[in-house]
C-alpha cells in the first residue's frame, strides 16, 4: 500500500471529480487512495458543456453531443459545422457516476479548513481568499433556464444554440442558449452578463418571448429549471495553499472570466499536475496561460461593464467573420499571437480602444 498515491479533495464538486478521473487514468484507480470532504451530500445537478475533439476520459458521462452550433443577432442566424470537433453535454451527476463506477472514494460529509492528515497531495476547491492579483472589476454571468417539452417539432437535434442575442437587451447583455435533446425537448436558457443577478420574472419574460417569437412555439410544458451564476472577474488567486496543497477548479482561477467555461481547463490542469508528478516526483501546478489572454478578457469585461449595448455586435462579428475552429481555439487560449491579431482585426475596434484606456 505504501506506493499508493493519496489525494485529499477539500470540496467534492465538479473539479474534484474531474481531477479524480484524470488521476485514475494516469496512475490506475487501484493505485489511488482518494478522500473527498464536502459539507453537501447531494448538490443540485449542473449541466456542463465542453467543445473539442472526443474526450475518452468522459465518454461514459456523455449525455448528448452536437456537431453544429448556431448564433443569432439582429434578424440573422448562422449555423457552423464543427467538423472534427463536437459540443458535448455532461452533468455534475453523470461525471460523479463515472467516478463511482471506476474507483473507490472515501466521502466525508464535513466542512474542512486545514490539511491535518498525511496525504501526498491536497486539492482544494473552496473559494479563494488569497490573491496574486485582486479583482479590478467583477461582474456575473447569471442564468435561468427551462427544460421544455413541446407539442410540435420545434428543435433540430443536431444543432445547439450557443448565443442568440435576439432578445430584449435592457438591463444587461442577454442571450439565449439552447441544448436540444430531441425535436420536442430542449433546455432553453436565458443568460445575462451584468453586475447583479436578476429577479426570476425577468429571465422568464425573455424565455417566453423567445420561445414564442423565435421558436414559433406556443404550447409547451416546463419539465425542470436550472438557475446559476458564475463570477466574471479578473482576480488571479494564489494557488499554493500549503505544502503539497493547491487550489483547483473555479477557486484556482480556472473559470474563464468572459465565458464561464471551466471543465476543459480543469482536465488540462489535472493532466499537467499528475503528468509532472509522474515524470519528476514533484507536485507543481502549471503556469497560467500567456498574460495576453488575461488582458483580452479584461478588455471585454470592461466593455461589458461600460458599453453593454456593443457586446452582442462584438460576439456576432467574432462568430460570423472567423472560422469556428479558430474561435474555439481562441476561447481555449490556444491561439498564436498571429491568430489573435486575425481575430481582433475582424471585430469592431472602437470599444476595445476605449477599453484599453479605461480602468
Ligand atoms: C449552473 C452552472 C452551469 C455551468 N455550466 C458550465 C458548462 O457548461 N461548462 C463549463 O465548462 N463550466 C460550467 N460551469 C462552471 C464550472 O464548471 C462549475 O461552476 C463547476 O462546478 C466548478 O467546479 P468546482 O469544483 O470548482 O466548484 P463546485 O462544483 O462548486 O465545487 C466546490 C465544492 O466545494 C465545497 N465546499 C465549500 N466549502 C467547503 C468547506 N469548507 N469544506 C469542504 N468543502 C467545501 C462545496 O460544497 C462544493 O461542492 C457552470 C457553473 C454553474 C453554476
**Which residue, among 39, 48, 37, has the nearest Cα to 14 in the 3D structure?**
48
Q: No. of H helices and E strands in the chain? A: 9, 18
Which numbered atom of ligand 1 lies nearest the CA of 43? Answer: 49
Average pLDDT over residues 22-28: 97
Q: CA 244, CA 297: separation in Å to the nearest integer?
A: 30
Domains of the chain: 5-54+93-134+235-280 (3.50.50.60), 138-232 (3.30.9.10), 291-357 (no CATH)
Q: Would you say the CB of residue 107 lies under 6 angstroms from ligand 1?
A: no
Mean of the pLDDT values across residues 266-295?
Answer: 93
The mean pLDDT of 91-120, rounded to a whole number, is: 90
- Please report, for residues 128, 245, 248, 316, 337, the alpha-carbon distance to residue 112 in angstroms, rounded to integers and kept in the order given: 14, 13, 15, 44, 42
Mutation test residue for ligand 1: of 20, 52, 125, the one with most atoms within 8 Å of CB: 125
Beta-carbon contacts of residue 308 (< 8 Å; ≥ 6 apart): 169, 172, 173, 193, 194
- Closest by alpha carbon to 255, among 169, 135, 121? 135
Residues 36 and 103: beta-carbon distance below 8 Å: no
The verdict on the CB of residue 109 being under 6 Å from ligand 1 is no
Interval 190-237: pLDDT, tens: 999 999 999 999 999 999 999 999 999 999 999 999 999 999 999 999
Alpha-carbon gap, residue 234 to 302, rounded angstroms: 10
Residue to mutate (ligand 1; options 8, 18, 48, 99; most atoms within 8 A of CB): 48
User: Measuring CA to CA, how many Å separate 354 from each of 66, 137, 169, 302, 310?
Assistant: 37, 16, 21, 9, 12
pLDDT at 130 over 70: yes
Model-level pTM? 0.95
Joined grid coordinates for residue 24: 485514475
Helix axes 291-306, 311-321, angle to 10 degrees: 130
Cell numbers 448556431 correspond to 70
Q: Which residue CA neighbors atom 4 of ligand 1 most closely?
A: 48
Amino acid at each position: 500500500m505504501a506506493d499508493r498515491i493519496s489525494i485529499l479533495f477539500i470540496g467534492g464538486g465538479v473539479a474534484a471529480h474531474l481531477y479524480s478521473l484524470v488521476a485514475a487514468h494516469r496512475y490506475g484507480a487501484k493505485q489511488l487512495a482518494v478522500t473527498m470532504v464536502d459539507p453537501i451530500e447531494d448538490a443540485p445537478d449542473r449541466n456542463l458543456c465542453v467543445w473539442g475533439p472526443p474526450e475518452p476520459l468522459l465518454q461514459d458521462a456523455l449525455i448528448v453531443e452536437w456537431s453544429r452550433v448556431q448564433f443569432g443577432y439582429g434578424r440573422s442566424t448562422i449555423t457552423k459545422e464543427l467538423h472534427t470537433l463536437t459540443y458535448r453535454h455532461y452533468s455534475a451527476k453523470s461525471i460523479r457516476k463515472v467516478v463511482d463506477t471506476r474507483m473507490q472514494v472515501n466521502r466525508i460529509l464535513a466542512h474542512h479548513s486545514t490539511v491535518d492528515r498525511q496525504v501526498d497531495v491536497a486539492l482544494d476547491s473552496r473559494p479563494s481568499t488569497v490573491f496574486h492579483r485582486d479583482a479590478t472589476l467583477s461582474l456575473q454571468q447569471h442564468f435561468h433556464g427551462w427544460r421544455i417539452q413541446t407539442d410540435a417539432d420545434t428543435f433540430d437535434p443536431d444543432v445547439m444554440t450557443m448565443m442568440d442575442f435576439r432578445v430584449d437587451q435592457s438591463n444587461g447583455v442577454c442571450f439565449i442558449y439552447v441544448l436540444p435533446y430531441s425535436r420536442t425537448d430542449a433546455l432553453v436558457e436565458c443568460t445575462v452578463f451584468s453586475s447583479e443577478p436578476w429577479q426570476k420574472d425577468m429571465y422568464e419574460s425573455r424565455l417566453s418571448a423567445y420561445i414564442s417569437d423565435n421558436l414559433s412555439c406556443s404550447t409547451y410544458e416546463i419539465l425542470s429549471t436550472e438557475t446559476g451564476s458564475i463570477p466574471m472577474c479578473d482576480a488571479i488567486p494564489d494557488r499554493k495553499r500549503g505544502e503539497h496543497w493547491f487550489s483547483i477548479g473555479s477557486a484556482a482561477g480556472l473559470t474563464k472570466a468572459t465565458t464561464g467555461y471551466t471543465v476543459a481547463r480543469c482536465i488540462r490542469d489535472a493532466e499537467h499536475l499528475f503528468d509532472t508528478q509522474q515524470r519528476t516526483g514533484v507536485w507543481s501546478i502549471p503556469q497560467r496561460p500567456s498574460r495576453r489572454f488575461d488582458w483580452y478578457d479584461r478588455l471585454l469585461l470592461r466593455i461589458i461593464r461600460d458599453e453593454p449595448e456593443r457586446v452582442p455586435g462584438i460576439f456576432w462579428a467574432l462568430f460570423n467573420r472567423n472560422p469556428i475552429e479558430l474561435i474555439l481555439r481562441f476561447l481555449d487560449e490556444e491561439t498564436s499571437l498571429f491568430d489573435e491579431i486575425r481575430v481582433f482585426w475582424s471585430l469592431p475596434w472602437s470599444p476595445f480602444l476605449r477599453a484599453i484606456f479605461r480602468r
